[in-house]
Amino acid sequence: METILSINNISKAYGPIQALKNVSFDVPQGCVFGILGPNGSGKTTLLGILLDVLKADAGNYTWLGNDNPHDARKKIGSLLETPNFYHYLSAMDNLKIAAAIKQHGDEDRLRVLEKVNLLQRKDSKFQTYSLGMKQRLAIASTLLGSPKVLVFDEPTNGLDPAGIAEIRDLIRQLNTEGHTIIMASHLLDEVEKVCTHVAILKKGDLLLSGPVDEVLRSEDQIEISASNVAQLLSLIQTMPGIISAKQQLNTITLSCDAGITPESINSYCTDKGITLSHLLLKKKSLETKFMELTNN
């Protein structure tokens, strides 16, 4: 798979605060890539560097395999903060100004308004729009000139549930139409529902990156006990597929490979002459895993 963006050891400090520490990852073409982390983790700083709004202290990045960031920037649509639309102007007039600033895309205005489902309201003043519609118009302005890549910082921030659902659907739709999308979010739920790939940041450190289903795989745990816990512990450590066995008082907590079930553990122990007095499957949510990753 072709790489759209390659980030190599990017670091950035604001005085004594290290906002990013040697961050490196690749963004494959055609994906929805989520940069996930709590507020203050460095997401917005990273996007600012990638869009040439901020300068990194160290490291570099390459867009679209191109060494010239200025050429690459023409193929990237971005939404870093709420754009300054004029309240008394219509969507069409606001997009005309946006196209003039970008120096391209004026002939694109009807097409992008149709994409974000605002064609019927093209002549309405911006001040009559709901928050969700305002955000859709902001996304329309990023689509002027048909960029290959779209970069959004917290695209659903401040929206009501209906607005959030609209923007998420729009992001998925734009992705199916061939746009690679990079978005920062502090919401695990958003990344799970919308993204194909993820990088998790915490206080400037990259914790993990890769396909969402690999990085955010939830890990179930199984709890067991028997009358002789020491004997059970030494036995269960010999069972294939057990990743770890930790004893706490009279119970043992197991992390296991995907194929291991409570039934298979029970029969393994019974076959070896140990009767289990306690057997419990503990589902571990993604929420828990994310909290564990991002908390100290």
pLDDT tens for the chain, 296 residues: list them.
Answer: 799 999 999 999 999 999 999 999 999 999 999 999 988 899 999 999 999 999 999 999 999 988 777 788 888 999 987 778 999 999 999 999 999 988 888 899 999 999 999 999 999 999 999 989 999 999 999 999 999 999 999 999 989 999 999 999 999 999 999 999 999 999 888 998 999 999 999 999 998 899 988 887 766 789 999 999 999 999 999 999 998 899 999 999 998 887 889 999 999 999 999 999 999 988 766 677 777 777 75
Q: Does domain 221-294 have CATH number 3.30.70.100?
A: yes
Superfamily of segment(s) 3-215 = P-loop containing nucleotide triphosphate hydrolases (3.40.50.300)
**Bridge partners of residue 247, in order along the sequence:** 252
Q: Please report which helix (H) or strand (E) contains residue 280, including its range.
A: strand 278-282
For the chain, domain boundaries:
3-215, 221-294
CA-to-CA separations, 183 to 38, 80, 155, in angstroms, rounded: 14, 10, 7
In whole angstroms, give the CA distance from residue 106 to residue 99: 5
CA-to-CA separations, 32 to 22, 179, 209, 223, in angstroms, rounded: 23, 9, 13, 37
Query: Would you say 286 and 218 are in contact if contact means Cβ atoms under 8 Å apart?
Result: yes
Q: State the pTM of this model.
A: 0.80
Residue with tokens 């122990």: 269
Contacts for 100 with CB less than 8 Å, ≥ 6 apart:
106
Alpha carbon of residue 219 to chain centroid? 19
Is residue 8 helix, strand or coil? Answer: strand
